[in-house]
Amino acid sequence: MPGPTHSSRFTPIQPLPGSADVITRIGELIAGLRPDAADMLTAFHRIQHQFGYVPREAIPLLAGQFRTTPAAIYGTIQFYSEVRTEPPAKTTVEWCSGPACLLKGSTNIRRALEAVLGCPMNGTTAGGAFGLRLVQCDGTCHLAPLVRLEGRYIGPLTVSEAIELARGIRGDDAGGEEAVTGEQPAPVGGGEAAGLE
């Protein structure tokens, strides 16, 4: 009996080894989505909402659903900073990379956070206790330079305040976070320019 003559420019994709429950659930979440960009974002959102991130097991399934390659799916995920491919840390500090924050010294805030928390931007510490995540401007520039922590906006921050905040999160200084978050945000232009200390 002759073999199948079906031809496709897409190579059949084999699922990665992983939890059968995870693969089944992901399949349910993306079933019925159309192979277009809008529905791909919907798929990322549904999966991340369910698992807290997009597990690697999802990549081949997404590629099959959206008729593309795993590399293209991975590249699209990387494009969106809001989509994670690793489980979120227990405590994640979100650092704003927007222009107002940059103009007010957020690069030095970032360096301070990375050094004190001991993890790179968009990374987590070993064991997943702390994480740093780059986020875009969401219009709260009057607080620049700022970070977001568990839904709170903290700014304008100086470098020394960022160090104090990070130490407080790590538990080095129980009063550190309180000392910073207890302040009222300054109005536009009221932030102290953060210099490298």
Question: Which residues of this chain interact with ligand FES, rule CB under 6 A?
Answer: 96, 98-101, 137, 140-141, 144, 146
Cα–Cα distance, 32 to 64 (Å, whole number): 12
**Considering the complex, what minimum distance in angstroms separates the CB of residue 146 from ligand FES?**
6
Smallest distance from the beta carbon of 163 to ligand FES, in angstroms? 19
Closest CB to ligand FES among residues 54, 141: 141
Comparing CB distances to ligand FES, the nearer of 72 and 137 is 137
Q: Largest alpha-carbon pair distance within the chain?
A: 79
Distances (CA, A) of 149 to 16, 59, 92, 129, 133: 34, 29, 7, 14, 10
Task: Pick the closer one to ligand FES by CB: 77 or 93.
Answer: 93
Q: Shortest gap between Cβ of 96 and ligand FES (angstroms)?
A: 3
Tokens of 104: 């007010």
Which CB atom, from 155 or from 176, has the smaller least distance to ligand FES?
155
Task: Specify the residue, 54 or 144, whose C-beta has the smaller distance to ligand FES.
Answer: 144
CB of 153 to ligand FES, least distance (A): 8
Asked whether the bond before 145 is cis by omega within 30 degrees of 0, the reply is: yes
CB of 136 to ligand FES, least distance (A): 8
- Least spacing, CB of residue 100 vs ligand FES, in Å: 4
Name which of 33 and 121 has its Cβ closer to ligand FES: 121
